[in-house]
Structure 1
Amino acid sequence: MKNTVVVLAGPTAVGKTALAIRIAQQLGTEIISADSRQCYRELSIGTAKPSPEELAAVPHYFINSHSITEEVNAAMYEQLALQYADDIFKRRPVAVVAGGTGLYIRALLEGMDRMPPVPPEIRTALREQYAAHGLAWLQETLRRRDPAFYAVAETQNPQRLLRALEVLEATGQSITAFRTATPQQRNFNIIKIGIQLPKEMLHDNIHRRVDGMMDAGLVEEVRSVEAFRHHNALQTVGYAEIFDYFDGALSLPQAVEAIKTHTRQYAKRQLTWFRKDADIQWFDAREGDAIMQALLAQLH
């Protein structure tokens, strides 16, 4: 049997962790996370990291693997995840990749596109404008000048938006024009499974999860990493809103509502991204038995 990577994708709060563990246990294998923030040891509550019990149930790679003092990106993830997969394949013919960061999944399966160089003066000028005018300016500029990118962008992530604007300024072309490189051929088979839920049910999961994060001490976690607030991983949902609360821009109840709203929007963008991949087989997240049957049929 040729080595196979089973990818489990889907929006936040849909139930990927529990299903990935079930699949890995049934196949006697291990899990590679494809989440751009759960790799940081200091970020647990706001990233909805698997519980200690879940991490003990099945070996996980790329969770608690880095410190917030380090910068991790998709190009690094590509190299790391390929190494993790090779490591698993020494013992098992199947590796499970689970997560919601579409760019990281694509980096592992297809390789990273080579981005054009950006002159330092463009980068500096744009960062100064962002510092002066804030996220709303960045969003509006890209919505107007690069609507194709903006339609699928992580609009709450200023690092990604700045990167897109840098490429636009430097080349006159949308960053999406550089994302059409020929996929690299990997030496393993790939099976892609997507899980989803009815919208009301997913939103209910998201709201309960955010309330649970608050009860678990999200405010204290964000305070503990305040020194790194400009780090890419903290310019994201669940952290940015609590920093706004610290700054007095939002009350705590307003910050909680903003996290829920932004998480719903993020889940919608994740689905938009994954639905463009014709190779993903979609299931209702509650159909665990059907998913296992379909998967086992493809593996044998």
Structure 2
Amino acid sequence: MQKTVIIIAGPTASGKTALSVQMAQLFKTAVISADSRQCYREISIGTAKPSPEELSAVPHYFINSHSIREDVNAGVYEKLALGYVREIFEKNDVAVMCGGTGLYIRAFAEGIDDMPVIAPGIRTRLNEQYAQHGLAWLQQQLQQRDPGFYATAETQNPQRLIRALEVLDATGQSITTFRSATRSPRDFRVIKVGITLPKEQLHHNIHYRVDAMVHAGLVEEVRSVLPYREHNALRTVGYQEIFSFLDGYISLDQAIDDIKTHTRQYAKRQLTWFRKDPAFTWFDSRDAADIMTYVQQQLK
């Protein structure tokens, strides 16, 4: 059998983790996470990591592998994940990748261009201006300075906007000039499975999960990482809203409502990203048997 990576992707709270564990058990293999935040040891509740039972059911890579003091990006992930795959392939013909970070999955499957090195001061200054002026300022800056990139950018994602402005400030060139769109050949096969749920069910799952996170101690977790709040890993849904609560700007109830709203918006962006890739075959995540059958047929 040709060495194969089964990629299970989709929006947050759609059931990717449970399905990937089931898939890995079927093929007696391991799961590589493709989630840009679950790699950080210090943040577990707000990142919806696999449960201890799921982690012990099959081997997992890129879970609790880094500290939030480390800078992990798509380029770093590409190199790490290719190494993980080589390790798995020593004993098995199949590996499972699971996650919702589209850029990481693309980097793994197709390669990613080397981005210019950014002086730390540039990022610090942009982060300070973002903290002072907010998302609208980032959007306005990028729309004026790099309208071509802005037209296709994730305009609600401050990390992506700051990254594009960093490159502009450091090089005077658009981030798009560093994206050559040349695919790096891979010596293994990739099967892409997209999973989702009807919108009402997905939103129900998101709301339920956020309430469960709060009950599990999300506020205490966010408080414990306050010293690192400027790190990119924490500029994300679930943490920014609780920071606002801890700063006294909003009530806890408002923070929880905001997390639910922003998570729904994030899920929509994830779906938009993955649906642009025609290589994905889509399923309702509740149809696990159909998904397993499909993958087994593809492997023949």
Whether contact under 8 Å (2:75, 2:114) holds in the other structure is no
Q: Give the equivalent residue in structure 1 for 2:130.
A: 130
Tell me, yes or no, if the aligned pair for 1:152 and 1:269 is still in contact at 8 Å: no
Q: Which letter does structure 2 place at the counterpart of 1:28?
A: K
Cα offsets for 1:68-118 (capped at 9, x unmatched):
222211111111111100000001000000000011111111111133466
2:24 corresponding residue in structure 1: 24
What SS does structure 1 have at the residue aligned with 2:97? strand
Return the TM-score normalized by structure 1.
0.92
What is aligned with 1:68? 68
Could you report, residue by residue, the CA deviation over 1:254-273 in whole angstroms, capped at 9, with x for unpaired residues?
Answer: 00011001101101111111
> In structure 2, how many angstroms separate the alpha carbons of the residues matched to 1:154 and 1:31?
28
Contact kept in structure 1, 2:127 and 2:230, CA below 8 Å: no
Query: What residue in structure 1 maps to residue 251 of structure 2?
Result: 251
Q: CA deviation at 1:225?
A: 0.8
- How far did residue 172 of structure 1 move? 6.2
Q: Distance in 2 between matches of 1:291 and 1:96?
A: 13
For 2:121 and 2:31, the matched residues in 1 are separated by: 42
Alignment partner, residue 287 of structure 1:
287
Note if contact 2:119-2:170 (Cα within 8 Å) is conserved in structure 1.
yes
Aligned to 2:195: 195
Are residues 216 and 123 of structure 1, via their aligned partners in 2, closer, same or farther at CA, if it must alter by over 3 Å?
Answer: closer
Percent same amino acid among aligned pairs?
A: 68
Map of 1:214 onto structure 2: 214
Structure 1 stretch displaced more, 110-119 or 73-82 = 110-119
User: Given residue 47 of structure 2, which amino acid in structure 1 is its aligned partner?
Assistant: T
Cα separation, partners in 2 of 1:147 and 1:53, compared to 1, 3 Å: farther
What is the rounded CA distance, in whole Å, between the counterparts of 1:149 and 1:236 in structure 2? 22
1:229-268 → structure 2 map (5 Å cutoff): 229-268=229-268
Q: Displacement, 1:241?
A: 0.3
Give 1:81's aligned amino acid.
Answer: A
5+ residue gaps, structure 2, are none
Q: Which residue does the alignment assign to 1:96?
A: 96
The count of aligned residue pairs is 300
Q: Which residue does 1:141 correspond to in 2?
A: 141
Which residue is 2:272 aligned to? 272
Q: Which moved more, 1:73-82 or 1:30-39?
A: 73-82
Cα drift, residue 66 of structure 1: 1.1
Find the aligned partners of 2:11 and 2:37 in 1 and give their Cα distance. Answer: 15
RMSD: 2.1
Q: Which residue of 1 aligns with 2:223?
A: 223
Question: Mean alpha-carbon deviation: is it higher for 181-190 or for 62-71?
Answer: 62-71
Q: Could you report, residue by residue, the CA deviation over 1:104-154 in whole angstroms, capped at 9, with x for unpaired residues? A: 111111111133466788656645533442333113433565566456645
**What is the alpha-carbon distance in structure 2 between the residues aligned to residue 243 and residue 291 of structure 1?**
39
Does the Cα contact within 8 Å between 2:207 and 2:260 map onto a contact in 1?
A: yes
Where do residues 158-197 of structure 1 align in structure 2 (5 Å cutoff)? 158-169=158-169, 174-197=174-197
For each residue in 1:129-182, what CA deviation from the matched residue of structure 2 results, as whole angstroms up to 9, or x when unmatched? Answer: 334423331134335655664566455543321111233456665434533421
Match of 1:44 in 2: 44
Partners of 1:193 and 1:283 within 8 A in 2 = yes
Cα distance in 2, alignment partners of residues 220 and 44 from structure 1: 11
Cα distance change of structure 1 residues 205 and 149 upon mapping to structure 2, 3 Å threshold:
farther
**What letter matches 1:93 in structure 2?**
D
Distance 1:238 1:154, change over 3 A: farther
Distance (Å, rounded) in 1 between the aligned partners of 2:218 and 2:124: 33
Q: By how many angstroms is 1:287 displaced?
A: 1.0
Q: TM-score, normalised by structure 2?
A: 0.92
- Structure 1 residues 162, 291: closer, same or farther in 2, change over 3 A? same
Letter in structure 2 aligned against 1:227: P
Q: 1:106/1:51 Cα in 2 relative to 1: closer, same or farther (>3 Å)? A: same
- Could you tell me which amino acid in structure 1 is paired with residue 58 of structure 2? V
Measure the CA separation in 2 of the matches of 1:205 and 1:151.
31
Which SS does the other structure have where 1:274 is aligned?
helix
Aligned 8 A contact 1:157 1:235 in 2: no
